Structure 1
Amino acid sequence: MNYLAHLFLAPNDPQQQLGGLIADFTRGRLETLAEHYSEGVIQGIALHRQIDRFTDEHRWVIQSKVRFSKEYRRYSGIILDILYDHFLSCYWTVYSELDRAGLIQEFYRLLIQEQVCLPPRLKTLIPRIVDEDWLGSYHDLDLLGQVYQRMSARLQRTNPLGDAIVEVRRLYPQLSDDFKRFFPELVTFSQQQQRVLSQT
């Protein structure tokens, strides 16, 4: 769900960038997945998993989750995943000199070019990801409300996600501050893991 963050944190390598997205659509051991994907894709999947683990256990992310009222706390991970892409988009120039829109469009072209190699569920989503500009549209806070509503409808049990934007607006300054403390540490961790993976 935080596709922009994983693209940003991936090395400047198309296969690893693909792996960073494919990771959300695959399960199982890397050794098994290596029978179907290139070494670069596998490294991207491995990095994605390490980033997710680091994020879930990070003190500032945990702090953000605790800020949510009881009604939303169970879904705080989903809410934050999407919100972090919004924050990254808004504060992009703090963390990168690259052109955000250009990077996203280049990645969309890569997805279209490589779609035959993608997992079936991801392959069917490519037209929507590109047409609806999933990686770029989270910049607009109003659109996040629509994203939360779609997420809510996809879950089988009754849930409050459809109204999560109200909670996000209430907590926005605090959650933004948590992100600004957390994200530089995530960038450093990602760079360290890239060096480790490149040596394996």
Structure 2
Amino acid sequence: MNFLAHLWLAERSGTSLPGAILGDIVHGRDLSAYPEDVAAGIRLHRRIDVLTDSHPGIVALRSDYPQGARRYAGILLDLVCDHALALDWERYAEEPLPDFCRRSAQAVADAGEWFLRAGGQAPRAESFAQLLLSYGEPQGIDRAIRRTAQRLRRPEPLIEAAVGWRGRLPLLRETLPSLLQDLRAAQA
């Protein structure tokens, strides 16, 4: 799961939208510096990551990758999950995707101080909304893969694992409903 799915899940559980994004930025277990709702969102993000990585559907998709690429396949599948969610958005939400992206991005931007405190940058609402919307296009996922790879010490394995991601998309779209259902059940 990447940003879009984390936000979608946070909203369904009534958890902090900024916390859903901060889960990738905040390090350590001590969350006492954050308001309780933000800390709850961070904890939920981390739980979703663990549950996603161990979900039978994701494990099966990852096992299709060659041995050396499996570690990076998890990162790639997180990004492509957002693409699958965006493609089938009407199946999962009544609110139009552009509206959800703008509203979520504004909530995240309004919590900019917590991103700065975590050592990140304060997101700008307009650019973050555009990023979320870009996940609906294959080119947006390609850009996200390149950006993510640039943050790695060795970017090449992720780029190599990403070759042919579009061919794996149908299987991920088939897996997504059960994954999201299981993640929502785990939130209860």
TM bin (shorter chain): 0.7 to 0.9
Q: Which structure 2 residues correspond to residues 110-121 of structure 1 after superposition, within 5 A?
A: 110-118=107-115, 119-121=117-119
- Normalising by structure 2, we get a TM-score of 0.86
Q: Secondary structure at the match of 2:23?
A: helix
- Unaligned regions of 5+ residues in structure 1, if any? 193-200
Does the 8 Å CA contact 1:79/1:148 hold for their aligned counterparts? yes
Q: Deviations over 1:104-136 (max 9, x none)?
A: 111222233221232354325x24982672211
Q: How many residues align?
A: 187
Q: Deviations over 1:9-51 (max 9, x none)?
A: 113698711111111111222xx312x1111111111111111
Does the 8 Å CA contact 1:149/1:163 hold for their aligned counterparts? no
Residue identity in the other structure for 2:148: M
Does the 8 Å CA contact 1:68/1:167 hold for their aligned counterparts? no
Does the 8 Å CA contact 1:17/1:44 hold for their aligned counterparts? yes
Does the 8 Å CA contact 1:19/1:45 hold for their aligned counterparts? yes
Inter-partner Cα distance in structure 2 for 1:12 and 1:40? 14
* Match in the other structure for 2:23: 23
Question: Highest CA radius of gyration, 1 or 2?
Answer: 1
Residue identity in the other structure for 1:33: L
Q: Which structure 2 residues correspond to residues 1-200 of structure 1 after superposition, within 5 A?
A: 2-11=2-11, 16-29=16-29, 32-34=30-32, 36-118=33-115, 119-124=117-122, 126-127=123-124, 130=127, 133-157=130-154, 159-190=156-187, 192=188
Superposition CA RMSD, Å: 2.5
- Unaligned regions of 5+ residues in structure 2, if any? none
Matched-pair identity in %: 29
Does the 8 Å CA contact 1:25/1:122 hold for their aligned counterparts? yes
Does the 8 Å CA contact 2:11/2:17 hold for their aligned counterparts? yes
- Normalising by structure 1, we get a TM-score of 0.81
Q: Deviations over 1:165-198 (max 9, x none)?
A: 43212322223222233222222223x1xxxxxx
Q: Secondary structure at the match of 1:11?
A: helix
Q: 1:173 to 1:12 in 2, by over 3 A?
A: closer
